[in-house]
């Protein structure tokens, strides 16, 4: 059963604008990590940002930030000042039983 | 430090054949995970090896198997290939220490096409 849901298969954003990718997950654990990974076209998947569930403060990495709502089991990714290099598949993930479970991904297009 | 290396990068097989994919993790990483990526299903977890032992397994049929060697290199094998096995197979390594944060380091993948 899918336990990470990304409800937006594709999204588009104008260059320099802000976009938010949504993610919900299902877990009964209280301590876990959440991740956003980026997969550029024909390139390796890389970690964008990581959130520790026991930390209330939302993680931030330069133009990338998250909105973590633990009670709602929601973990959205906000990309500010979108750049052409941000075009990629974005995967939300979390660790469960010592393995990382991924959503189906959101393809992000950047419009020049 | 060299990244995760997967070979071959591309391969074409026919139904009924078998295939072996290889993954060399980042030096010092003892955990290797395998994922199948398809357009409709995203990334699906196949299995994870740590110190030559399979620690976790996803919901794939027994045709999918793997192993890990003493140098942490891993191989996965798919026997009796089916058309639906066409996918990008991703390998990821990680350090897995007591304070493991779960970050995975991915290879570029092996793209398998089954005809």
| Below-50 pLDDT ranges, chain B | none
**In the predicted structure, residue A1 carries a pLDDT above the cut 60:** no
Q: Which residues make Cβ contacts (< 8 Å) with residue B5, sequence separation at least 6?
A: B23, B24, B107
Chain A residues in contact with B56 by the CB 8 A cut-off are: 97-99
**pLDDT at residue B86 in the model:** 97
Tokens of B60: 């794939």
Picking from B33, B56, B107, the nearest residue to A44 by CB comes out as: B107
- What is the DSSP code (8-state) at residue B27? T
Whether A107 and A89 have beta carbons less than 8 Å apart is answered as: yes
Q: Which residue in chain B is spatially nearest to A105 when comparing CA positions? A: B42
Least confidently predicted of A50-59, A61-70, A82-91: A50-59
Please tell me if residue A105 touches chain B, with a CB cutoff of 8 Å.
yes
pLDDT at A108 over 80: yes
Q: Which residue of B has its CA nearest to A104?
A: B42
Mutant choice from A100, A105, A106, A107 vs B, greatest count of B C-beta within 10 A: A100
Q: How far apart (Å, rounded) are the C-alpha atoms in residues B13 and A32?
A: 40
What residues of B are in contact with residue A100 (Cβ under 8 Å)? 33, 45, 92, 102, 104
Taking all residues of chain B, what is their mean pLDDT, rounded to a whole number?
93
**In this predicted structure, what is the pLDDT of residue B100?**
66
- Measured in degrees and rounded to the nearest 5, phi and psi for residue A25 equal -145, 170
Question: Per DSSP, what are the bridge partners of residue A106?
Answer: A90
Reading phi first (left if > 0) and then psi (alpha if -120 to 50, else beta), residue A70 is in alpha
Tokens of B98: 């007591």
Q: Which two tokens stand for residue B25?
A: 């993790």
Residue B36 has what pLDDT? 97
pLDDT of residue B99: 60
Alpha-carbon Rg for chain A, nearest whole angstrom, is 13
Contact B107 A105 (CB under 8 A): no
Question: pLDDT (tens digit, 9 = 90+) per residue, A24-39?
Answer: 999 888 888 899 999 9
Q: Percent of chain A, pLDDT > 90? A: 72
Verify whether the Cβ–Cβ distance A102 to B42 is below 8 Å: yes
Mean pLDDT of A36-62: 91
- Whole-number pLDDT of residue A31: 82
Q: Check: CB of residue B85 under 8 Å from CB of residue B112.
A: yes
pLDDT surpassing 70 at residue A55: yes
To the nearest whole percent, how much of chain A has pLDDT over 70? 97
* Chain B interface mutation, best of A31, A37, A44, A61, highest count of B Cβ atoms under 10 Å: A44
Say if A55 is an interface residue toward chain B (CB within 8 Å): no
pLDDT bracket for residue A89 (50, 70, 90):
very high
Facing residue for B103 by CB, picked from A50, A99, A102: A50
């Amino acid at each position: 059963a899918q336990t990470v849901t990304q409800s937006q298969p594709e999204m588009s954003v104008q260059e320099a604008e802000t976009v938010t990718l949504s993610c919900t997950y299902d877990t009964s654990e209280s301590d876990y990590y959440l991740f956003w990974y980026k997969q550029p076209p024909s390139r390796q998947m890389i970690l964008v940002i990581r959130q520790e569930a026991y930390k209330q403060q939302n993680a931030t990495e330069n133009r990338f930030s998250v909105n973590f709502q633990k009670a709602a089991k929601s973990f959205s990714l906000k990309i500010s000042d979108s750049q052409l290099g941000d075009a990629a598949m974005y995967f939300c993930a979390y660790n469960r039983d010592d393995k990382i479970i991924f959503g189906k991904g959101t393809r992000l297009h950047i419009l020049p | 430090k060299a990244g995760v290396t997967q070979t071959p990068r591309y391969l074409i097989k026919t139904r009924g054949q078998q295939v072996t994919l290889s993954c060399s993790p980042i030096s010092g990483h003892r955990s290797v995970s395998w994922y199948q990526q398809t357009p409709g299903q995203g990334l699906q977890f196949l299995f994870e090896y740590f110190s030559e032992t399979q620690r976790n397994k996803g919901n794939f049929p027994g045709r999918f198997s793997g192993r890990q060697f003493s140098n942490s290199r891993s191989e996965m094998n798919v026997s009796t290939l089916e058309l639906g096995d066409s996918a990008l197979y991703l390998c990821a390594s990680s350090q897995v220490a007591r304070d493991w944060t779960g970050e995975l380091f991915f290879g570029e993948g092996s793209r398998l096409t089954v005809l």
